[in-house]
Amino acid sequence: MKKVEVLAPAGNLPSLKAAVASGADAVYFGFRNATNARNFEGLNFSEVEARQGIEHAHRHGARANIVLNTFPQVDDPTPWYRTVDLAAELRADALILANMALLRYARDRYPDLPLHLSVQASASNSAAIDFFQRHFGIERVILPRVLTIEEIRRLKETTSVELEVFAFGGLCVMAEGRCHLSSYVTGVSPNIEGVCSPARAVRFDQEGGLLKTRLGGVLIAQYGEGEDAAYPTICKGRFVAADRVYHVMEEPGSLNILEMLPEVIGAGVVSLKIEGRQRTKSYVATVTRVMREAVDAYYRLGAEGFRARPGWLKVLNATSEGTTHTLGTYQEAWQ
């Protein structure tokens, strides 16, 4: 039986090596430029580092995917097309894209380069997925984090495209990279910025015994003494609704599918993606190692015998937002 893939993030070359050493079947990374949504200071890869990273992964039996998940800008789209060329030149195992112009360029110019549809494309139904397969020959789609297990299972039954899902990390309940709430409040695109809440738009103000968090001047939440304050994100803010104050859309916490691993694998996915190219090498190694152990345990014990070990959950919760985890929409029925 072919095991589901453990796919780990790599924000730099040391993180890539840590992921491979911790048991990742594949890694994904981006370049140090605007083609990469996680284009943060001190992160990502030069062309030389990308070559070294791909060679290292291949030498240790792992695959290496290149991320090209921002949208070309009208003033100079050259870097985006150059990244497609580089992915082919460096013999990446797949190129992760969302933009249709880039997908067409990649398919026409490099027909043997495997293409994966980025979550930024927000393809969450069989008609959308089949459209990208028919016109651009995608082999895999990275599903948005808003689908239930049953919806993923139905997709598997109605499309031949491989399904990749997020297994651990940040949870987004919006159209990823195109959140209008975030762009309205901050004035910038989450896709181009690579974050929902750019640091320059965030404020923490102490007012009358309350800590108030704001994004782009909008009050997101307020906390009393002793309460842990979450980083200001619109979808995880606390607002007044139905005469009470609560997390209307989503509570702070990281997605962690370990407690539903048999159901997720049983739905027919081929890859479990760990989010966090902006995180540390230690985070990458820790989460990859736990996910590797869990997947191996599933195949050793079977779906009926598998249980998420408390030790795994404890370790992962220590790395999670709010030091807790959620199963997200994998267990929820809301649309």
Q: Going along the chain, which residue ranges are E strands?
A: 5-9, 26-30, 63-68, 94-97, 115-117, 140-142, 162-169, 202-207, 210-215, 218-223, 238-241, 244-247, 254-256, 271-274, 325-326
Query: Would you say residue 120 lies in a domain?
Result: yes
Query: Would you say residue 182 lies in a domain?
Result: no
Which SS3 state, helix, strand or coil, does residue 66 take?
strand
Same domain for 86 and 149? yes
Same domain for 14 and 103? yes
Tokens for 132? 């990208």
Q: Is the sign of the CA dihedral 200, 320, 177, 237 positive or negative? A: negative
Domain range for 216 is 190-247
Same domain for 273 and 238? no
pLDDT at 322: 54
Query: Would you say residue 228 lies in a domain?
Result: yes
DSSP states of 81-121: HHHHHHHHHTT-SEEEE--HHHHHHHHHH-TTS-EEE-GGG
Same domain for 155 and 61? yes
Crossing angle, helix 100-109 and helix 78-89, to 10 degrees? 40
Same domain for 34 and 151? yes
Same domain for 76 and 223? no
Which whole-number Å values give the CA distances from 149 to 44, 156, 285, in the listed order? 33, 11, 27
Number of compact structural domains in the chain: 2
Same domain for 63 and 124? yes
Continuous segment of H or E residues that includes residue 283: helix 281-305
Same domain for 210 and 239? yes
pLDDT tens digits, the chain, 335 residues: what are they? 689 999 999 999 999 999 999 999 999 999 999 898 887 778 899 999 999 999 999 999 999 999 999 899 888 999 999 999 999 999 999 999 999 999 999 999 999 999 999 998 989 999 999 999 999 999 999 998 888 899 999 999 999 999 999 998 866 666 665 677 777 788 877 767 767 777 788 888 888 888 888 888 888 888 888 777 777 777 777 788 888 887 777 666 678 889 999 999 999 999 999 998 988 999 999 999 999 999 999 999 999 999 999 999 999 888 875 545 555 556 654 43
Q: Are 97 and 120 in contact (CB under 8 A)?
A: no
Tokens for 73? 């800008």
Read off the pLDDT of residues 6-17 as tens digits, 9 standing for 90 and up. 999 999 999 999
Same domain for 14 and 112? yes
- 66 phi and psi angles, rounded to 5 deg: -100, 135
Read off the pLDDT of residues 29-78 as tens digits, 9 standing for 90 and up. 999 998 988 877 788 999 999 999 999 999 999 999 999 998 998 889 99
Distance from chain centroid for Cα 249: 19
- Please, what is the average pLDDT of the chain? 88
> Which of 5, 111, 106, 95 shows the shortest CA–CA distance to 50?
95
